[in-house]
Amino acid sequence: NAGVTQTPKFQVLKTGQSMTLQCAQDMNHNSMYWYRQDPGMGLRLIYYSASEGTTDKGEVPNGYNVSRLNKREFSLRLESAAPSQTSVYFCASSATYQNTEAFFGQGTRLTVV
């Protein structure tokens, strides 16, 4: 049982380049999330999808877009990467968007130079 799978695990981008982070879950969860973690800090929510077909902004959405491709997959896109987006990105999923346990992927370490 893979749980939440993210790709890639590591990525280096030049300023201005674009990329998409992929996330897939095999737990039949309705809700999915993208978080970022910066050094010495906890995780902050970028975007979430409460259910298939819906997406909403979290607390730090600027510079990002998301797509809920289907129930399993939720992607995060950086259209024009900036050094401030250097971070570790985590995808998560939960059965529903309230009051259920969230499970996290292994993270993507992104460096923008």
Partner 1 sequence: GIQVEQSPPDLILQEGANSTLRCNFSDSVNNLQWFHQNPWGQLINLFYIPSGTKQNGRLSATTVATERYSLLYISSSQTTDSGVYFCAVQVAAGNKLTFGGGTRVLVKP
Cβ neighbors of 96 (< 8 A, separation 6 or more) are 30, 31, 50
Single-letter residue type at 95 = A
Q: How far is the CB of 27 from partner 1 (least distance, A)?
A: 12
Other Cβ atoms less than 10 A from the Cβ of 90: the count is: 21
58 touching partner 1, by CB under 8 A:
yes
45 touching partner 1, by CB under 8 A:
yes
Nearer to partner 1, 62 or 99 (CB): 99
CB 74 within 8 A of CB 46: no
2 touching partner 1, by CB under 8 A:
no
Q: Which residues bind partner 1 (CB under 8 A)?
A: 33, 40-45, 48, 50, 56, 58-59, 88, 90, 92, 97-104, 106-107, 109
